[in-house]
Structure 1
Amino acid sequence: MAFFLGWITVFLTAMACRVQAASLFAHFMVTNSANYTSGDWEDDMKLAQDAHIDAFALNMAYNDPTNIKSLPATFSAADSVGFKLFFSFDYAGNGNWPKSDVINLINQYSAHSSYFFYKGKAFVSSFEGPGRADDWHTIKSETDCFFIPSWSSLGAKPAVATGILHPVRIWGTWCWALGTASSPILIQKPHINRLRQLKHEQVQLIPSPNSCRRITPLNDKSPTSVTSRNPTKMTKYETAIERIDAAHADDPREAQTPTGQVPYELHYAQKMTSYLSTLNPSAPELLRLAIRAQHLRRWEVPRDSYPATKIGYHSWRAGLQRRQAALVEQICAESGYSVEEAARVGALVRKADLKQGDPDTQTLEDVACLVFLDDQFDKFEAELADEEKMVEILRKTWGKMSERGREEALKIQLSDKAKRLVGIALSG
């Protein structure tokens, strides 16, 4: 079966910029194991042992039914074979993990002899989810785990500034990010330099499976070569999300969040995904891509590049939708989606079928309205002195939403003035 070589992780323990020890992990996408037997698990673990891999990082998306089905057999097989496992909680696939679920899983399965421990603590990882950083204070307290998140969307300095991390995990080694397979080190090096400045002691590096095999340890003098056997690529969804987020992260503007400064459009995209998880936790994959790609590279076409008229505004919005749709269609096609699938994502971004009552397009509209009310309205209201105009905007926003979207909108915490304006808008 050998689904495990999706990507290879090198965990380096460094002190005073000198590499002292390393462990080699392979990420295993648990969702791929729905039809696995105990024999399949044991076969893959033996292959991993032959490849000198120390453990599987079990990547699990929230609410994936495969998790509950597979984990007992997975750990039983690992106990039998003498192989190590640890959890990597994926916050990008199906939305955020509830901290109670994380605590229960760690406490339940870290009791197995096959669970990987570091410095006497259960080793736990994550993929994204920086918006739930505060959860980890409680999780670490309840489980005494050694937590190594991947919050690459924040960048090294804001990630360390959360105060949550023991170490940090770097995903910025994918060849496509530079447009060449020969220079992955250039993406990684700024993160390494930042971590060196911060005197961070542990770092986890992830070389790309796409022929990027050279990584540089913290001393930056003696490159370490890592060769994976029969490497495979990430899923097309993961690849597309990574590329979309990389584009968002280019936004020179920043948003202040509880965990530090984040590129504004990346912050916006994360908000969109979060509200989608609330409205529709089982949203189809193409809708999740369209949601994540809203405002893709929008900052490159500012409002003042069009006339300051109503026609100018609508022309700007229409042009943005076409441009953003074309960009995400290209990303989807390059990530492995069919022409039809990429076109569907583009149509959702353009809201092409909104007037025809397409439910996915309406969900996207609901999510965009919710993010506006939650994340932008207070600032918008403070900058626009015309209350009558604000009431008109609120009425239009309310009119765009479905009943389900309106129910969620009423739960949003707004300023007192904003609440008053909402009351006026809804009573009119």
Structure 2
Amino acid sequence: MNKPNPSASPAVRPSLSRTVTIVQASLEKRYRAEKRFRLLGLSAVVCALAFLAVMFADIIAKGHTAFQQTCVLLDLFVDPDVVHVGNLDQADYQALVKRSLEKHFPEVTGRQEKRELYGLVSSGAGVAVRHKVLEDTSVIGKTIAVWVPANDDVDMVIKGHVDRNLPESERRLRDRTLGWIETLESQGRIAKRWNKTFFMAGDSREPELAGILGATVGSFYTLLVTLALSFPIGVAAALYLEEFAPKNRWTDLIEVNINNLAAVPSIVFGLLGLAVFLSFFGLPRSSPLVGGLVLTLMTLPTIIIAGRASLQAVPPSIRDAALSVGASRMQAVFHHVLPLALPGMLTGTIIGMARALGETAPLLMVGMVAFIVDIPRGLTDPATVLPVQIYLWADSAERAFVEKTSAAILVLLAFLIVMNAAAVYLRNRFERRW
């Protein structure tokens, strides 16, 4: 800090002192303001991270149990009168499951009681028995031990989502049903096992039989169509606008419209797909082909903007050097500029694809909200996608679908994290620093 000059006149010294005082007060005020700003910024970051942590903790707490499935061990006699080599596919395997339950609880004789007893296991328990028989037909005529999926209400009780101490009127299971469950538990016939069904099955009305495979395959086909169309079209549009298009009123209008389309609500693209691809062109409804076309329209502005930014980041000296040694404009762009800009373009494409993976609204408009049980085998088969599957399960009233919804969200978040991590890796791996 400058000190007053001793040689200065008496009239100047008080003026210098006042100036120094004012400057010091000003600096202290600025330092306090800067400190407050840093604290506010840090508080905002901490607050955002806290909300994010609470959200993830809530999703994980509700969804981690979906990766396990409650199963019941049955000693089941494969009756040759019901199952024989000539009718392996059409045999009534569920009837064998019911007989096994009756043998485990011979005291149950009433019709209503038997119906409740059969409800201990899933309606798809016969499928597990069928797989066992198809694996080894020599079990026909023998008694085998088979783990079959339990009913969703039993599953919720075993996982602790239902309080057994509640009065009978406040829960879905009767006291005698809880007694049967406790009997099976004491015999070691109830256990939680890895839920392969969640990953290997399509949608179902029964929570214990519902899986995400159909939605995952539908998402894969939809993103495949989106990538195959949006990447080459987006890169070509970015190259033309940045390197070859004349700078005039029309190109300015196109650039403004591209920037505006990037901010258009996604449901507008769904309405466009409904009007053009379904109503006008007559493409199959609820198909990954139509969904991919709609998501292509939605992601194109993002990819074009990212592509142009990557091209602008390439130093002009690269172009000038190529042109100075006799390369044509086309050769300079495709041999020198494009390879250097491609990592940034790929990063923008992956970010656009990650956004497309999480979209729901535009796909609802083209019919991909339908209840699809079968796994799609092609681009024109009826299908749904993972975000829409989450939407459908979240709308279900059954408690077992709550954990399915949270588990599917975890899977979707894992895909999004992987795609964004891939974008970061590509940028760091291939990006050039100028």
Tell me the TM-score range normalised by the shorter chain.
under 0.3
Q: Which has the higher helix share?
A: 2
Normalization by structure 1: what TM-score?
Answer: 0.22
Normalization by structure 2: what TM-score?
Answer: 0.22
Work out which structure has the larger RCO, using CA pairs closer than 8 Å and 6 or more positions apart in sequence. Answer: 2
Q: Which has the larger radius of gyration?
A: 2
